[in-house]
Amino acid sequence: MKLSKFVIGLVGVGLELFAPVPSLSVGQEGKRWTVCPQGCDFQRIQEAIDAAADGDTILIQAPGIYYENLTITKSLTIAPYQVFPVILQPAGAFIGPVITVKGERAIRVTLEGLIVQGMALEQAVAVKILGQATALLNNIEVGPSVYFGLIVDDQAQVTIKNSRFSGNGASGISIVGSAQVTLEDSVVFANGVKGISVTENGQLHVVRTTIFGMELKAVGAGIGIDANDQSKVVIEESLIYDNRLEGVQASESSAVEIIKSVIANNGRSGILLFDKPTVIVRESIIHSNDPWGIAAWTPQCGFEGNQYSGGTVQIDQATVFVKNSKGDICLP
């Protein structure tokens, strides 16, 4: 009974994220610029961005689809004036991300209440944040896009709250370079290859988030979270389930810590280890994965060849294993 209540409670994470909120936390300093088809300061969002100064707020006054490719290089807040759908789609092919936040210097950007879709076939990325940018994405929906929903690169630091990433062909979120991402109270689902990919020295902290339904496509896997290179990932109070292959994949010299979370019903393993990663699991539930709860890529675990060179795995006594089809743990 306790197990069922825990799983059901975590499944509910994020399912009510997109109910109307009473107000948007737009910037309180600087000037406010308005954008709408008629009667506002500007008809196009990029025109408002170009005119604005650091600390200004851009309010979109009318719902609808805005066909633009935005470049933001200053500290701004962009949000709808009220809680209504504002959809950003690319202005044309081969232009680049729908939104690029480029921190050639230290800037702070808030994007709130927007739906960003990379619909054109050539649109590789919906949102890209790079350089020295610090960004808050709140109540954002990213996808569908042909390849990536969000890429965070270089030294960028991004906090994502109450948001959804779905329908992106490669990954919902990709973290590279030395970028840092905190993902809270959000949902990542039905992306083609990986829910979240963390490479190089990237860092990811996932809190109260649901990641599910990554599927095997013509080119790709079906992994909830993929940590490789020297990346660091912390997963807390979250649910990762029903992915085509792994719930969590840790490879090379990555470090993954899973705390008070559920890894369930993934199609190959709950947690799969390559190379020499460090994996720590505390106070979690590893449930109904097929075949293994936690496994290394070795012949003894049923995989072709040996791609595991002896990582570190720590599992505390409070972690529960339930109904993994071949067994709970398969390590050399």
Burial 46-84 (b: 16+ CB within 10 A, else e): bebbeebeeebbbbbbbeeebebbbebbbbbbbbbbebe
* pLDDT tens-place values along the chain, 332 residues long: 344 444 445 444 443 333 333 334 444 579 999 999 999 999 999 999 999 999 999 999 999 999 999 999 999 999 999 999 999 999 877 778 999 999 999 999 999 999 999 875 556 899 999 999 999 999 999 999 888 999 999 999 999 999 999 999 899 999 999 999 999 999 999 998 999 999 999 999 999 999 999 874 544 579 999 999 999 999 999 999 999 999 999 999 999 999 999 999 999 899 999 999 999 999 999 999 999 999 999 999 999 999 999 999 999 999 999 999 999 999 99
Amino acid (one-letter) located at 305? G
Burial (0-12, 13-18, 19+ Cβ within 10 Å), 215: middle
Whole-angstrom distance, CA of residue 74 vs CA of residue 58: 12
